[in-house]
Amino acid sequence: FYLLKRRDADHLDNLSPGIRNAVRALIQQDNKVLLLEKSGPPLGLRYALPGGGQDLGETLEQTLKRECLEEINCDIQIVRLLHVADYFKQRSTQPPSTRQQLEFLFECQIPVDYQPSNGTHPDKQQTGAVWIAMDTLQDIRLLPTAVIPILQQINTGHYPYYLGQVK
């Protein structure tokens, strides 16, 4: 990972104004991580951590709790902040555009009897919530891809808090 310098941002075409805060939940159990499963054009089958964008007036904690209820039908308990990163997300708008997001990754816990399922307002193209073994993350399409080595290092305790720009 590298830190994004202001002059490096010049290559970002059609950068949307404003920076969006987004939260993600890292939920682990028995050496597995809970992920959203998504399918559909143009990206096909892919996976993502539960979470989403912060609404005006919400705290990061309120945002993450709301998003997890909407996406994985679960009332989570937030344990701690793990990472902060800049993410420049390509959007499928016409013309194509890029949105800058400030991503906050939180370690979270869920009830031991939780069974993965969609919540009341799942993400677009979300087909389910699934447990994926940590040692197989490199075999799936997890977006953003930069999160894979980070997730695999979480339990070692040796990782940076600010990741710079992730892709």
Name the one residue in this structure whose structure tokens are 């089958």: 45
Confidence of residue 93 (pLDDT cuts 50, 70, 90): confident
CB 95 within 8 Å of CB 60: no
Pick 4 or 120 by higher pLDDT.
120
CB 33 within 8 Å of CB 137: yes
- Full-prediction pTM beyond 0.75? yes
pLDDT tens for 102-145 read 999 999 999 999 999 999 999 989 999 999 999 999 999 999 88
Region of 98 (left: φ > 0; alpha: ψ -120 to 50; beta: rest) is: beta
pLDDT tens for 14-71 read 888 889 999 999 999 999 999 999 999 888 999 999 999 999 999 999 999 999 999 9
- Selection from 63, 73, 61 nearest residue 114 by Cα: 73
Distance CA 38, CA 125 (A): 5
Distance CA 130, CA 115 (A): 9
